[in-house]
Structure 1
Amino acid sequence: MKGLIKFYHPDETLEYHIRKCFCKVVFLNNKNTLVVEIESSDDLEHVEEDSYQNEYPQVSFTVEDFEIPVDSILKLSGKSFKIPAFEEKENEIGDMEDIFYTNLNLNDEEDLDTDDNELKFGKDEEGNLKMIWIGYCEDFITNKDPLKFKISCVFTNDILNIED
């Protein structure tokens, strides 16, 4: 698994290494939906002592239940999706409700919305599925203008060997 998360704050760029990530297409309520989870490591060896990142040692991003026109991850390569943070939809009993698709979690404590999300899928040199996710989130550092972020990751098929 390879990958990097970057937040482009005006004062400094925060850089996180990805610890784990996965992507799958799930058939849910008669629709194919995208599920992505990306979690950074909490390793801060590459971070300066006075960096904002020391206050936020770990982040995780998710995409859930976003309807897509493909039925497997094998068909994601070459596709691009613009995903809203949420959408208002009518439920089974006719009430309107907000359906949230994306989320950013800081330090397993604070959840933030992400906006202007664009996910682009392709293949790396070894044929593994790769993804670039670009978007904006609330400025969790100074609470000013939204922060741009970029995630680049490769989803590998790790083979588990289980001994008898």
Structure 2
Amino acid sequence: MKGLIKFYHPDETLEYHIRKCFCKVVFLNKKNTLVVEIESDDDLDHVEEDSYQNEYPQVSFSIEDFEIPVKTIQQLYGKSFQIPSYDEKENENGEVEELYYTNLNLNDEEDLETDNNELKFGKDEQGNLKLIWQGYCEDFITQEDPLRFKVSCSFINDILEIDD
């Protein structure tokens, strides 16, 4: 297993197993930026019949275009970042643009912002890059107080075998 995603709703904790994830440092517009994508599977065998999670069988998180002071994945080990959901920056034409860094997608349909994003990078037991991402998102279940979430995943190098 590559990791878990948990949403801490007052009524129940929703738990998702991660199907795929990747992390890259990309050189974009003369800056090093972080790109992360994490997608859950849609297996609900571990979920009770009356769980809210049955309405939201799959979620995915992403981070794009967030400038970071590292050039390689190896330099992420031991680093922590606070990432805003979005930021307003002036472009080269003097116009203010909104840049969205984080996203939570439910069932490939609904996009939500995440807030108070804290990312901590380290190593797992096998030496792979590990990410702990904590923050808050809109309460997509009852639309009340924001939901706290936690993502824990390891970026494992899958070996691709091609038959001749």
Work out the CA distance in 2 between the residues paired with 1:30 and 1:97: 18
**Alignment-derived partner of residue 131 in structure 1:** 131
Work out the CA distance in 2 between the residues paired with 1:53 and 1:161: 35
Work out the CA distance in 2 between the residues paired with 1:78 and 1:58: 30
Identity %: 80
What are the Cα deviations for residues 15-39 of structure 1, in whole angstroms up to 9, with x where unaligned? 0000000000000000000000000
**Alignment-derived partner of residue 40 in structure 2:** 40
Work out the CA distance in 1 between the residues paired with 2:49 and 2:161: 40
What are the Cα deviations for residues 74-131 of structure 1, in whole angstroms up to 9, with x where unaligned? 1101000000000000112111011000000000000000000000000011110000
Could you list the runs of 5+ residues in structure 2 that have no partner in the other structure?
none
What are the Cα deviations for residues 114-158 of structure 1, in whole angstroms up to 9, with x where unaligned? 000000000011110000000000000000000000000000111
**Alignment-derived partner of residue 150 in structure 1:** 150
Work out the CA distance in 2 between the residues paired with 1:124 and 1:88: 35
TM-score by length of 2: 0.99
Residue identity opposite 1:54 in structure 2: N
What are the Cα deviations for residues 45-83 of structure 1, in whole angstroms up to 9, with x where unaligned? 000000000000000000000000000111101000000
Residue identity opposite 1:45 in structure 2: D
Q: Tell me the SS of whatever aligns to 1:74.
A: helix
Residue identity opposite 1:88 in structure 2: E
Q: How does 1:12-27 map to 2 (within 5 A)?
A: 12-27=12-27
Q: In the comparison of the two structures, how many residue pairs are matched?
A: 164
Work out the CA distance in 2 between the residues paired with 1:57 and 1:126: 30
Work out the CA distance in 2 between the residues paired with 1:153 and 1:111: 21
**Alignment-derived partner of residue 9 in structure 1:** 9
How far does residue 163 in structure 1 lie from its aligned partner after superposition? 2.4
Could you list the runs of 5+ residues in structure 1 that have no partner in the other structure?
none
Residue identity opposite 1:80 in structure 2: S
